[in-house]
C-alpha cells in the first residue's frame, strides 16, 4: 500500500512572512507619522480650512423699540415672524423640475400658484439665494418647516404692529418692510427706536444647519422704548368725535389738537381721513398726510383774540373801552369790511363775543404796525413749533414793508396769513398759560419745560375772560359749552383762497381753553370744506370741542369750576343782554 502524502507546509519564519510584516509595519509607521505631522505641524492650517467650510458669522436678530402712550398703553410693537429663503444651487440639484407635491404646497403657503412659483425660479437662474416670502405668521412658518424641503430656509425677522390702527396712525406713522420709519414719529425717532443687530460665530453641518454656537462677537441691543405725551383714551375720544363730524357735514378733511397748558405736551392729535397702518395697501399719500402739521389755512376769526391782546398790551384800549361798530361795516381803502349785522357800540369783550370784523379792524388801525403784530409773532405764527415732526409746515406770516391798510385790516380778523392747527393750538395754550410759552412736546416729559413769558399776564387773562362770553348765551360758540366747566373759546369761519381770490369753500375752526378758572387744556378743532347746510365754526367745530373737552376733563380729573347756580346766573345775564341788544338793533 502507498502512504498518503503530507500537504506542503509554509514555514512560519519564511522570508515572505518577514517581508510582509515589514511592509505593514512601515505602512503603520508612515500613517502614524503622517497623523502626528498633521496634528502637530499642520493643525493650525487644517483647523483654519475646516472653519472656513463650517463656521459662519450669523446675525443675532433684534427688535425695534415699542411706542407707548403716557400711561404705558402699547401703541406700536414688533411682532416676531419668519421669512423663507431659497438656496438655488441646492434646490436645482435636488429638485430640478419642482414637480413634487411639497413644492405645490409651498407655493400655496406663500400665496403663489405652482406656475408662478416656477416662473419665479426661472427669473432667478443666476442667483444663489433669494427671499421667496416674508412676514410669515407662525402657522405658515410651521407648515413650511414640516415640508422639510432641502434648500428652503426660514429666517427670523419682525413686523411692526399698531394696536390702535387708524386712531393714532397720523401721529405714529409706520415703517417699511425693512423696519425703517417712513412717516410720523416712527420716522422722527427712527434712530432711537432701531435696535442694534448682534453677531455670533456658529458651526454648520453639511446642510447649512446650525449645530453649535461658538462665540458671540457682539451683543444684540433692542431699540429704545418711546413714551409719547398723548393719552390713548383721549385720543380715541377725539378720533371718534372728529370722524363723526367730518362724515356728518360731508367735509373734505379735519384735524384736532389738544395741548396740556401746564406742560405744552400734546394730549391728543388726530386727522381725517385716516388709514390703517397695518395694511400696506392703504398707505396712500392722500390718507397718510398729517393735516394737523402739514396743512395751513387762514384762521379767520380765531385770530381776533390776538388782535385784542395786542391792543391791550399796547395800551391803546382797556377792557372797558367802547368801540362803535355802526353801521355794521367800515371802508378801508377801496374795500368795505362788513359785519354780519350792526352790533352798535361794543366793549372789547363784546367785539370777541359778536366776532366783529369792524371792531378788530378799528383796534388794528389804532396801533402802529409793531404793536399790532406783537402778539401774533410772540405766540409763534410764521415759525414751526419745533416738534420735530417730519414735514411740519411753518405756515405763512410774511409781512412785507409798507403794506397797505387793507392788508393790516384783513390780518386783524384772520386773513392774509396761514397757520397750521398745531400752531393755532400752541397759540391758544399761550393765552391759557397767561402769557407763558413752552416748547411743544410729543413725548412725555419727566419735568415740565421752563416757559418764557411772551405776553403779559394781565392782558392774556382779560382776553381769556372775554372769550368766555363767546361760549355763553349771545356768543357765536354756544355749542362748545360744557356742563359744569367754564369754557373760553373762539369760532372761526374762513373762505378758502382760490384763483387769486376767494371761492365758495370754507374752512371752519373752534379754538378753546378749559376750564377758565385754572386752564388745563387748549384745543383746536379744524374742519375743511364742510358740505352740509351748516358750515360755520360754531355749528360744525364747536360741538366737537364740547364732546371731547367734556370727556377729557373728567378723565384728567379736572375739578368742575362752574356750579349750577353760577351757570344759571350767567345764562340769565347773557340772555338779558341779548334781549337788550336785539331791542337796540331794531
Q: Which of 512, 576, 580, 518 is nearest to 548 (CA)?
A: 512
Q: Which of 401, 397, 400 is nearest to 383 (CA)?
A: 397
Report d(CA 479, CA 468) in Å as an integer.
13
From the list 301, 387, 481, 550, the catalytic residue is 301
Q: What angle do CA 342, 344, 348 make, to 5 degrees?
A: 115
User: Is 301 among the catalytic positions?
Assistant: yes
Report d(CA 430, CA 456) in Å as an integer.
11
Three-state DSSP class for residue 86: strand
Report d(CA 56, CA 200) in Å as an integer.
8
Strands 501-514 and 488-498: antiparallel
Three-state DSSP class for residue 319: coil
DSSP state letters, 268-292: EEEEES---TT-GGG--HHHH--HH
Residue 5 CB contacts under 8 Å (≥ 6 apart), including other chains: none
Q: Which of 233, 161, 221 is nearest to 196 (CA)?
A: 221
DSSP state of 419: B
Q: Which of 572, 540, 541 is nearest to 473 (CA)?
A: 572
Report d(CA 477, CA 450) in Å as an integer.
33
First to last CA, the chain: 170
- Residue 327 preceded by cis peptide, ω within 30: yes
Residue 430 CB contacts under 8 Å (≥ 6 apart), including other chains: 378, 379, 380, 436, 437, 454, 455, 460
Three-state DSSP class for residue 489: strand
Catalytic residue positions, numbered = 301
Amino acid at each position: 500500500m502507498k502512504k498518503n502524502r503530507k500537504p506542503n507546509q509554509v514555514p512560519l519564519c519564511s522570508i515572505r512572512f518577514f517581508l510582509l510584516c515589514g511592509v505593514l509595519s512601515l505602512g503603520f509607521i508612515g500613517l502614524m507619522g503622517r497623523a502626528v505631522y498633521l496634528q502637530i505641524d499642520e493643525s493650525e492650517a487644517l483647523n483654519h480650512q475646516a472653519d472656513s467650510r463650517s463656521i459662519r458669522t450669523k446675525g443675532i436678530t433684534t427688535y425695534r423699540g415699542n411706542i407707548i402712550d403716557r400711561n404705558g398703553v402699547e401703541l406700536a410693537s414688533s411682532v416676531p415672524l419668519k421669512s423663507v429663503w431659497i438656496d438655488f444651487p441646492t434646490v436645482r440639484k435636488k429638485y430640478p423640475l419642482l414637480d413634487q407635491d411639497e413644492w405645490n404646497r409651498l407655493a400655496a403657503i406663500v400665496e403663489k400658484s405652482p406656475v408662478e412659483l416656477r416662473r419665479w425660479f426661472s427669473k432667478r437662474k443666476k442667483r444663489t439665494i433669494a427671499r421667496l416670502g416674508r412676514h410669515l405668521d407662525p402657522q405658515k412658518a410651521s407648515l413650511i418647516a414640516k415640508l422639510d424641503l432641502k434648500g428652503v430656509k426660514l429666517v427670523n425677522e419682525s413686523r411692526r404692529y399698531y394696536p390702535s390702527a387708524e386712531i393714532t396712525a397720523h401721529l405714529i406713522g409706520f415703517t417699511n418692510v425693512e423696519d425703517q420709519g417712513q412717516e410720523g414719529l416712527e420716522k422722527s425717532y427712527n434712530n432711537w427706536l432701531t435696535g442694534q443687530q448682534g453677531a455670533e460665530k456658529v458651526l454648520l453641518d453639511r446642510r447649512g444647519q446650525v449645530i453649535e454656537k461658538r462665540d458671540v462677537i457682539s451683543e444684540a441691543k433692542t431699540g429704545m422704548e418711546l413714551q409719547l405725551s398723548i393719552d390713548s383714551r383721549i385720543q380715541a375720544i377725539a378720533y371718534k368725535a372728529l370722524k363723526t363730524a367730518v362724515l356728518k357735514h360731508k367735509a373734505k378733511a379735519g384735524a384736532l389738537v389738544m395741548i396740556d397748558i401746564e406742560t405744552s405736551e400734546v394730549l391728543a392729535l388726530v386727522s381725517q381721513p385716516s388709514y390703517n397702518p397695518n395694511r400696506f395697501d392703504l398707505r396712500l399719500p392722500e390718507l397718510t398726510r398729517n393735516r394737523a402739521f402739514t396743512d395751513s389755512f387762514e384762521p379767520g376769526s380765531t385770530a381776533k383774540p390776538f388782535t385784542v391782546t395786542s391792543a391791550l398790551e399796547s395800551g391803546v384800549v382797556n377792557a372797558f373801552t367802547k368801540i362803535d361798530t355802526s353801521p355794521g361795516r367800515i371802508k378801508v381803502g377801496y374795500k368795505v369790511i362788513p359785519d354780519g349785522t350792526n352790533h352798535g357800540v361794543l366793549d372789547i369783550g363784546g367785539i370777541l363775543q359778536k366776532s366783529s370784523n369792524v371792531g378788530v379792524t378799528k383796534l388794528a388801525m389804532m396801533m402802529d404796525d409793531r404793536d399790532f403784530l406783537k402778539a401774533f409773532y410772540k405766540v409763534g405764527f410764521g415759525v414751526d413749533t419745533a416738534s420735530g415732526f417730519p414735514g411740519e409746515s411753518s405756515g405763512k406770516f410774511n409781512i412785507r414793508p409798507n403794506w397797505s391798510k387793507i392788508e393790516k385790516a384783513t390780518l386783524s380778523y384772520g386773513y392774509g396769513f396761514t397757520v397750521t392747527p398745531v400752531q393755532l393750538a400752541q397759540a391758544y395754550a399761550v393765552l391759557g398759560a397767561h402769557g407763558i410759552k413752552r416748547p411743544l412736546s410729543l413725548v412725555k416729559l419727566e419735568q415740565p419745560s421752563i416757559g418764557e413769558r411772551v405776553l403779559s399776564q394781565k392782558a392774556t387773562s382779560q382776553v381769556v375772560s372775554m372769550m368766555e362770553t363767546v361760549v355763553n348765551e349771545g356768543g357765536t360758540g354756544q355749542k362748545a359749552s360744557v356742563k359744569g366747566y367754564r369754557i373760553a373759546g373762539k369760532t372761526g369761519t374762513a373762505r378758502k383762497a382760490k384763483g387769486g381770490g376767494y371761492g365758495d369753500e370754507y374752512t371752519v375752526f373752534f379754538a378753546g381753553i378749559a376750564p377758565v378758572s385754572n386752564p388745563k387744556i387748549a384745543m383746536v378743532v379744524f374742519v375743511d370744506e364742510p358740505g352740509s347746510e351748516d358750515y360755520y365754526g360754531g355749528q360744525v367745530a364747536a360741538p366737537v370741542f364740547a364732546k371731547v373737552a367734556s370727556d377729557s376733563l373728567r378723565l384728567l380729573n379736572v375739578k368742575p369750576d362752574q356750579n349750577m347756580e353760577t351757570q344759571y346766573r350767567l345764562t340769565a345775564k347773557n340772555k338779558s343782554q341779548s334781549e337788550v341788544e336785539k331791542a337796540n338793533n331794531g
